[in-house]
Amino acid sequence: MRQSLVSGQKPFAVVLACVDSRVPPELVFDQGLGDLMTVRSAGTVLDEAVLGSVAYGALELGIPLIMVLGHESCGAVSAAVRAEQTGDQLPAHIQYLADQIRPAIDHVQHGDARIDSTITRNVGMVRKRLAAERDLADRVAAGKLAIVGARYELHSQRVHAIT
Ligand SMILES: [Zn+2]
Residue 74 above 90 pLDDT? yes
- How far, in Å, from the CA of 112 to the mean position of ligand 1? 15
- How far, in Å, from the CA of 44 to the mean position of ligand 1? 8
- How far, in Å, from the CA of 61 to the mean position of ligand 1? 27
- How far, in Å, from the CA of 59 to the mean position of ligand 1? 26
Sheet with 36-40, strands from edge to edge, namely: 36-40, 13-17, 65-71, 146-153, 158-162
Could you read off the pLDDT of 100-129 as tens digits, one per residue? 999 999 999 999 999 999 999 999 999 999
- How far, in Å, from the CA of 162 to the mean position of ligand 1? 16
- How far, in Å, from the CA of 142 to the mean position of ligand 1? 32
**Would you kindly state where each structural domain of the chain is located, as residue ranges?**
3-17+28-39+46-154
- How far, in Å, from the CA of 69 to the mean position of ligand 1? 9
Q: What is the mean pLDDT of the chain?
A: 97
11-45-52 Cα angle (round to 5):
50
- How far, in Å, from the CA of 77 to the mean position of ligand 1? 7
- How far, in Å, from the CA of 1 to the mean position of ligand 1? 31
- How far, in Å, from the CA of 6 to the mean position of ligand 1? 32
Mean pLDDT, rounded, for 12-24 = 98
In which band, very low, low, confident or very high, does the pLDDT at 4 lie, cut at 50, 70 and 90? Answer: confident
pTM: 0.96
Mean pLDDT, rounded, for 71-88 = 96
Mean pLDDT, rounded, for 141-162 = 97
Measure Cα distances from 161 to 15, 23, 72, 91, 147 in Å. Answer: 13, 16, 13, 33, 11
Which DSSP state fits 1? Answer: -
Mean pLDDT, rounded, for 6-14 = 94
Which DSSP state fits 151? Answer: E
- How far, in Å, from the CA of 160 to the mean position of ligand 1? 16
- How far, in Å, from the CA of 27 to the mean position of ligand 1? 16
The SS3 assignment for 20 reads coil
Q: 3-17+28-39+46-154 has which CATH code?
A: 3.40.1050.10
Nearest CA to 136 among 69, 70, 63, 41? 63
Question: pLDDT value at position 126?
Answer: 98
Question: pLDDT value at position 1?
Answer: 85
Residue 2 above 90 pLDDT? no
Share of the chain above pLDDT 70, in %: 100
